[in-house]
């Protein structure tokens, strides 16, 4: 696949950004490779930098993959985008696993650009993800400073899948912005974290990711940012395939999860993010949801999500496949690993 001079100029008019990921021993090689490929070479607008935080020790095969990733990405782009500079790859190794929030806070220190895109290592970014989101930042990027109408976070709808990308499931849509999104945020997270692209400065101004928030580090971050009057926007297109399974529904329930939820809601009340009525409402609703049997909770979850869904056109539900061209991910991986194992450097 060749990129014309005109297309290259159009891409350079958009602000550069970093793709920030965290990987740990619980991820699989297949998931990691797919997440990296979908977030880089398969993008219509690739990132300028990839930062992957290795959150504690990982299997040897995964470590070899991370060690050779810069050369692997260089091969991908030499084949597919010979006129483009490949993204730089920064691997940040942590000796021990400290959890996602800590890993992302460390990773932010290595992000070289003003805009940071999040991706989880078990999800898939659709080819038009960044080309859809990044134009929303163009005006303020050219201005070079924040203003009252500066957009700080852009997210998207996501589509669930269980193993097979070609047979995705339910769409999870969120309110777009403004008062409707602010009201929604008092009840549920206002942004799908794996879909988020944000201004790094706005996240740092809010103190970064809270590191003692259990499984709600992203929701607490959005709360802090909203209290700082950050501007949020959600686009309606599902731009991320979100991996889910039976264990995910099981993790959403139980008394331990409910206790974490109560701590979260108390934090919101204490911070003035919610009022007393909203606190009581949220705790009662969460209690009913968290302690019900998994089968009932799963049906209730899908019913609640369905209320927020909209009917999308075929072009949005089924975006065109990534333009692989001559690029064969498996073959390129094999070639890059062979090169890495030959002992050559530089």
CATH architecture, domain 5-243+313-341: Alpha-Beta Complex (3.90)
Cβ pair 181, 140 in contact under 8 A: no
Higher pLDDT, 321 or 199: 199
What pLDDT sits at residue 261? 85
For 9, counting Cβ atoms within 10 Å of its Cβ (0-12 exposed, 13-18 middle, 19+ buried), the class is exposed
Give this prediction's pTM.
0.82
Strands (E), 80-192: 88-94, 115-118, 124-125, 153-161, 171-172
Q: Which of 152-166, 181-195, 305-319 has the highest mean pLDDT?
A: 181-195
Q: Which tokens sit at 237?
A: 């297109």
Q: Is the pLDDT of residue 254 over 80?
A: no
More confident residue, 255 or 145: 255
Buried b (16+ CB within 10 A) or exposed e, 96-132: ebbbbbbbbbbbbeebeebbbbbbbbbbbbbbbbbbb
Report the range of poorest mean pLDDT among 9-13, 55-59, 108-112, 152-156.
Answer: 9-13
Which band of pLDDT confidence, cut at 50, 70 and 90, is reported for residue 322?
A: very low
pLDDT, position 164: 75
CA 216, CA 81: separation in Å to the nearest integer?
38
pLDDT score, position 328: 43
pLDDT at 260: 84
Please give the DSSP secondary-structure letter assigned to residue 238. E
- Of 250 and 314, the structure prediction assigns the larger pLDDT to 250
pLDDT at 17 over 80: yes
Lowest mean pLDDT among 77-91, 145-159, 207-221, 327-341: 327-341
Contact 230, 202 (CB under 8 A): yes
Asked if 157 contacts 174 with a C-beta cutoff of 8 angstroms, the reply is yes
Per-residue confidence (pLDDT) for residue 13, from 0 to 100: 79
Closest to 106 in 3D by CA, of 35, 40, 204, 202? 204
Tell me what the mean pLDDT of segment 60-88 comes to: 94
Confidence of residue 340 (pLDDT cuts 50, 70, 90): very low
- Domain boundaries along the sequence of the chain: 5-243+313-341, 245-311
Average pLDDT, the chain: 82
Identify the pLDDT of residue 6. Answer: 55
Answer with the residue of higher pLDDT: 308 or 330: 308
Contacts of 106 (CB under 8 A, 6+ apart): 53, 92, 94
With pLDDT > 70 as the criterion, what percentage of the chain qualifies? 73
Distance of CA 159 to the CA centre of its chain: 13
User: What does the pLDDT average to over 199-206?
Assistant: 96
């Amino acid at each position: 696949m060749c990129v014309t001079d005109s297309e290259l100029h159009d891409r350079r008019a958009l602000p550069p950004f970093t793709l920030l990921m965290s990987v740990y021993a619980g991820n699989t090689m297949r998931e990691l490779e797919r997440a990296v490929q979908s977030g880089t070479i398969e993008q219509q607008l690739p990132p300028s930098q990839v930062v992957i935080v290795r959150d504690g020790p990982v299997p040897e095969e995964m470590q070899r993959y991370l060690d050779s990733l810069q050369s692997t990405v260089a091969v991908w782009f030499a084949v597919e985008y010979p006129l483009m500079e490949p993204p730089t790859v920064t691997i940040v190794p942590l000796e021990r696993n400290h959890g996602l929030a800590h890993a992302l806070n460390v990773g932010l220190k290595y992000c070289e650009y003003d805009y940071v895109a999040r991706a989880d290592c078990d999800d898939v970014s659709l080819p038009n993800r960044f080309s859809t989101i990044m134009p929303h930042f163009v005006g303020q990027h050219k201005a070079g400073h924040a203003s009252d109408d500066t957009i700080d976070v852009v997210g998207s709808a996501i589509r669930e899948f269980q193993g097979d990308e070609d047979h995705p499931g339910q769409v999870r849509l969120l309110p777009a912005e403004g008062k409707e999104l602010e009201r929604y945020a008092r009840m549920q997270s206002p942004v799908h974290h794996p879909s988020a692209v944000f201004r790094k400065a706005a996240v740092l101004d809010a103190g970064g990711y809270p590191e003692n928030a259990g499984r709600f580090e992203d929701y607490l971050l959005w709360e802090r940012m909203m209290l700082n009057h950050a501007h949020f926007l959600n686009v309606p297109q599902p731009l991320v395939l979100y991996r889910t399974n039976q264990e995910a529904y099981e993790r959403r329930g139980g008394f331990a999860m409910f206790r974490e939820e109560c701590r979260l809601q108390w934090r919101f009340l204490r911070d003035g993010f919610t009022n007393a009525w909203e606190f009581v409402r949220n705790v009662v609703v969460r209690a009913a949801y968290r302690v019900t049997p998994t089968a009932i909770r799963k049906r209730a979850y899908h019913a609640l999500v369905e209320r927020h869904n909209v009917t999308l056109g075929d072009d949005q539900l089924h975006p065109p496949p990534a333009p692989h061209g001559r690029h064969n991910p498996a073959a390129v991986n094999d070639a890059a690993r062979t090169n890495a194992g030959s002992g050559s450097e530089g």
